């Protein structure tokens, strides 16, 4: 018996696109419109373009249209199907707009239904429009409180803040969250909002520090701006570059670094107005943790993001579990290896766990757990602190910009490696496990 031939046949069958006959016809023009809308929704969630292309091809194959041509960039997408006379071209809202976890979960439910042949292209367009028009799960007041809770969690887990600094971060974080909800995404106000908020928040914090109300300004300022930090964009950019998407990856990197520069410029401008010395304003002490404090911070972070980004029902448990696993992997690895390896292992564990959990009943898609973890793992806060210090000619901490960049690269490689590892699990797992990719 030719075992090699049997294995090659199995691999070839697994790789061949699976076409599922839908109960209704899916003409090329309607399928093209659905794929473009679906791709736009995935881009707005912040999914890497490599993953979007794979998802759209899988959906197109299931709808009976293999052999399509797809080009996906962070703000534009082109879809061409055999049988259509024109190529679909659509501009996409930049991912700087707010991502809602309930909307992301709806989009991935549509992807799963389409891949399983349970949804026609016309039904998919209708469902997608309904999902995009659906209001947030939580009221604005709840979301504002959630933003404050997330800021307090970041102050504790990343900066080792004391209770007074955590309360300050909560109040300032709630104000930043309220300001973000009042600005319409994609407007001119949304464009200047990051630098405006960094300036106003820094002005308030530095003024309070001058009056000796706040002891360590950075423990209040940086956590309040955590959702403005481009950690996800930087990591996704490195991930896309590693996957060969040079245009998307480089553009995301430029965008992320530009956002860091704008935030730092707002802080520097506020500092120039106040009389606080730069060494006091930008001093970042090493966190002094007890046994339980950082884990409480991770739970606060998960709870705050769940409320602010309107997580799907019961997703709080999966989100908190994933963040705890990622943080534990990072901390344990850092005990025996340099810190950069902690980021790699944390991202690897996060990726595998997030993909495995999404097969459980009531679990959200993996992307819902990915996004908050980028703020937990990616040293965006350290990058902002380091960049601001060096603009002012200071060197108050041991993290160089090259170290921070190395950490971001390590985390991106951890995501890529974790994805490849999960592919192997997905390939050999029995169907009763219900694993899915995407």
pLDDT at 85: 61
Asked if pLDDT for residue 46 goes beyond 80, the answer is no
Q: Answer yes or no: do 239 and 279 share one domain.
A: yes
**Which of 133, 149, 174 lies at the terminal end of a domain, its last residue?**
133
Q: Answer yes or no: do 103 and 197 share one domain.
A: no
Q: Answer yes or no: do 248 and 200 share one domain.
A: yes
Query: Which of 17-26, 35-44, 155-164, 199-208: highest mean pLDDT?
Result: 199-208
Domain region containing 324: 140-433
Structure confidence at residue 276 as a pLDDT band (50, 70, 90): confident
Residue partners of 63: CB distance under 8 A and separation at least 6: 20, 22, 26, 31, 34, 114, 120, 121
State pTM to two decimals: 0.83
Asked if residue 12 belongs to a domain, the reply is no
Mind listing the pLDDT tens digit for each residue in 131-149?
Answer: 888 888 899 999 999 999 9
Query: Which of 43-52, 314-323, 377-386: highest mean pLDDT?
Result: 314-323
pLDDT at 100: 86
Q: Answer yes or no: do 121 and 227 share one domain.
A: no
Asked if residue 1 belongs to a domain, the reply is no
């Amino acid at each position: 018996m030719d075992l090699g031939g049997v294995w090659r046949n199995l691999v070839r069958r697994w790789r061949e696109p699976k076409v599922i006959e839908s109960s209704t016809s899916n003409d090329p023009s309607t399928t093209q419109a659905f794929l473009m809308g679906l791709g736009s929704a995935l881009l707005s969630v912040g999914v890497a373009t490599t993953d979007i292309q794979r998802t759209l091809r899988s959906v197109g194959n299931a709808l009976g249209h293999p052999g399509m041509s797809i080009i996906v960039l962070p703000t534009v997408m082109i879809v061409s199907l055999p049988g259509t006379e024109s190529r679909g071209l659509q501009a996409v809202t930049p991912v700087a707009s707010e991502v809602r976890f309930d909307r992301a979960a709806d989009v991935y439910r549509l992807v799963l239904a389409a891949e399983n042949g349970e949804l026609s292209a016309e039904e998919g367009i209708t469902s997608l429009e309904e999902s995009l028009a659906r209001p947030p799960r939580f009221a604005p007041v709840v979301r504002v409180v959630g933003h404050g809770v997330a800021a307090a969690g970041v102050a504790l887990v990343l900066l080792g803040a004391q209770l007074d600094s955590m309360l300050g971060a909560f109040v300032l974080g709630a104000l930043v969250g309220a300001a973000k909800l009042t600005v319409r995404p994609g407007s001119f106000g949304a464009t200047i909002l990051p630098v405006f908020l960094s300036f106003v928040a820094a002005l308030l914090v530095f003024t309070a520090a001058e009056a000796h109300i706040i002891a360590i300004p950075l423990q209040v300022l940086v956590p309040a701006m955590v959702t403005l930090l481009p950690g996800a964009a930087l990591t996704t950019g490195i991930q896309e570059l590693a996957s060969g998407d040079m245009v998307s990856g480089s553009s995301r990197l430029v965008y992320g670094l530009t956002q860091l520069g704008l935030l730092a410029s707002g802080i520097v401008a506020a500092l120039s107005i106040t009389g606080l010395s730069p060494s006091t304003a930008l001093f970042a002490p090493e966190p002094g943790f007890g046994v339980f404090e950082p884990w409480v911070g991770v739970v606060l972070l998960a709870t705050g993001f769940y409320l602010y980004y309107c997580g799907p029902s019961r997703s709080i448990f999966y989100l908190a579990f994933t963040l705890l696993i990622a943080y534990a992997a990072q901390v344990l690895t850092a005990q025996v290896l340099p810190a950069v390896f902690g980021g790699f292992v944390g991202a690897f564990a996060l990726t595998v766990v997030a993909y495995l959990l999404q097969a459980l009943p009531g679990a959200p898609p993996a992307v819902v757990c990915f996004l908050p973890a980028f703020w937990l793992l990616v040293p965006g806060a350290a990058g902002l602190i380091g960049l601001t210090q060096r603009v002012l000619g200071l060197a108050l901490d041991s993290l160089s910009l090259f170290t921070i960049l190395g950490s971001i690269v390590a985390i991106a490689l951890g995501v890529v490696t974790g994805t490849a590892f999960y592919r192997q699990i997905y390939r050999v797992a029995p169907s009763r496990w219900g694993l899915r990719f995407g």
